[in-house]
Structure 1
Amino acid sequence: MLVTRIATALVLVPLAVLGILFLPTFAIAFVFAVLMLMGAWEWGAFVGLTRTPRLLFVLATAVAMACVAGLRSRATPVGIETVAIGLACLWWLAAVGWIVRFPDGWAETIGRPAITLVIGLVALVAPVAAVTYLHDSDTGAVLLVVFFFIVWAADTGAYMAGRTIGRHKLVPRVSPGKTREGAIGGIVAAIVFAGIGGWVLGYTGTRLAGFMVLGGWVAAISIVGDLGISMFKRHAGLKDSGTLFPGHGGVLDRLDSVLAAAPWFVAGLHCLPSQF
Structure 2
Amino acid sequence: MLKQRLITALVLGLSVLAAIFLLPPLGFALGVMMVVALGAWEWAGLAAITHPLLKTGYAALSVMALAGFYFWVDASMLGTLLLLTALAWAVVVVIIAVGQPPQEKQLLIRRWGLGAAGLVALVPSGLALIILQAIHPSWLLFLLLLTATADTAAYFTGKRFGRQPLAPHISPGKTREGLLGGLVGVAVLSLLGASWFGLELSIWFIFVCLCLITALISVVGDLFESLLKRAANAKDSGRLLPGHGGILDRIDSLTAAAPVFLLGLLWAGIVAR
TM-score exceeds 0.5? yes
- Name the structure 1 match of 2:113: 115
**Within-5 A mapping of 1:1-276:** 1-49=1-49, 50-73=51-74, 78-79=76-77, 81-103=78-100, 112-137=110-135, 140-272=136-268
Q: Secondary structure at the match of 2:236?
A: coil
After TM superposition, give the deviation of residue 18 of structure 1 in Å: 3.0
Query: Structure 2 regions of 5+ residues with no counterpart?
Result: none
Structure 2 residue identity aligned to 1:96: V
The 8 Å contact of residues 82 and 124 in structure 2, kept in 1 or not, is answered as: yes
Q: Secondary structure at the match of 2:100?
A: coil
The 8 Å contact of residues 102 and 231 in structure 2, kept in 1 or not, is answered as: no
Counterparts of 2:112 and 2:159, CA distance in 1: 38
Counterparts of 1:204 and 1:160, CA distance in 2: 33
Counterparts of 2:107 and 2:217, CA distance in 1: 22
Structure showing the higher helix proportion among its residues = 2
Q: Secondary structure at the match of 1:112?
A: helix
Higher RCO by CA contacts (8 Å cutoff, separation 6 or greater): 2
Give CA-to-partner distance per residue, 1:114-153, whole Å, 9 cap, x none: 111111111110011101221222xx11111111111111
Counterparts of 1:14 and 1:199, CA distance in 2: 25
Counterparts of 2:22 and 2:143, CA distance in 1: 16
Counterparts of 1:53 and 1:273, CA distance in 2: 42
Q: Secondary structure at the match of 1:82?
A: helix
Q: Secondary structure at the match of 1:270?
A: helix
Deviates most, 115-124 or 252-261: 115-124
Q: Secondary structure at the match of 1:203?
A: coil
Query: Structure 1 regions of 5+ residues with no counterpart?
Result: none
Give CA-to-partner distance per residue, 1:14-68, whole Å, 9 cap, x none: 3322321222111221111111110000011122222111111111112211211
Counterparts of 2:170 and 2:26, CA distance in 1: 37
After TM superposition, give the deviation of residue 199 of structure 1 in Å: 1.4
Alignment length (residue pairs): 269
| Structure 1 ranges of 4+ moved more than 6 A | 104-107
Give CA-to-partner distance per residue, 1:162-219, whole Å, 9 cap, x none: 2221111100111111111111111111121122122111113122222122111111
Change (3 A) 1:245 1:104: closer
Deviates most, 44-53 or 167-176: 44-53
Structure 2 residue identity aligned to 1:32: V
Counterparts of 1:83 and 1:274, CA distance in 2: 18
Structure 2 residue identity aligned to 1:189: G
Structure 2 residue identity aligned to 1:91: A
After TM superposition, give the deviation of residue 105 of structure 1 in Å: 7.7
Deviates most, 259-268 or 155-164: 155-164
The 8 Å contact of residues 87 and 122 in structure 1, kept in 2 or not, is answered as: no
After TM superposition, give the deviation of residue 87 of structure 1 in Å: 2.8
